[in-house]
Amino acid sequence: MTDPFQFSKKNLLDEHQVVEVRAPDDAVATWFELAGLACAELRRMGVPASVEAPDEPLALESPPGARIHVADRYPYGVLFSWNSPIVDSESFQAKLIAQKVDDPLVVRVFEVARMMERAVHRLLDKAGFRVLIDNSAHMNYEYRILAAPARLRGTKSV
């Protein structure tokens, strides 16, 4: 498995770099394999999950559940977040556009998303995945999947 932090560190230390460097294809391929294994494990446990490719156009309506994202640019690697179906609704989108971040519905949706992300993190951890809650962004947490359990390495994802 390719360590995503080697690319992050190189990107952050290179002062003369104007454009973010894309991770090599072989690294991205290992991250896709890891994302597939995590997605299969979550589905096996009854948690809806999907894998998003780096250059995939954003869907108008994303599938609900755990979104496992493969990032070929900073922050690099395999990350996940929670997608509640309500975030695609017109009423919720209107509240966000109007910047009503203190609206009880908006507050609750974000609270539930954080709870579900922690739950997914815990499920993957208990299944033997090496996971990390990264606070390097300082404002938000990045939930990362770093490695599959030894029992799954070398197996094909669903």
Average pLDDT value for residue range 31-49: 96
Mean pLDDT score across all residues of the chain: 85
- Residue 137: inside a domain, yes or no? yes
- Residue 156: inside a domain, yes or no? no
Model pTM score: 0.82
Q: Mutual orientation of helices 25-44 and 104-126 as an angle, nearest 10°?
A: 100
- Residue 114: inside a domain, yes or no? yes
Q: How confident is the model at residue 158 (pLDDT cuts 50, 70, 90)?
A: very low
Instruction: Supply the pLDDT for residue 4.
Output: 76
State yes or no: pLDDT of 70 exceeds 90.
yes
Instruction: Supply the pLDDT for residue 58.
Output: 57
H/E segment holding residue 97? helix 90-97
Query: What's the number of domains the chain is made of?
Result: 1
Amino acid at 105: L
- For residue 126, give Cα distances in angstroms to 120, 121, 131: 10, 9, 10
- Residue 18: inside a domain, yes or no? yes
Instruction: Supply the pLDDT for residue 88.
Output: 85
Q: By residue range, what is the domain housing residue 94? A: 4-147
More reliable by pLDDT, 117 or 3: 117
Residues 87-143: tens digit of each pLDDT: 888 999 999 999 998 999 999 999 999 999 999 999 999 999 999 998 866 667 889
- Residue 57: inside a domain, yes or no? yes
Average pLDDT value for residue range 12-31: 76
More reliable by pLDDT, 155 or 44: 44
Amino acid at 110: F
- Residue 79: inside a domain, yes or no? yes
- Residue 155: inside a domain, yes or no? no
Instruction: Supply the pLDDT for residue 36.
Output: 96
- Residue 44: inside a domain, yes or no? yes
d(CA 99, CA 102): 8
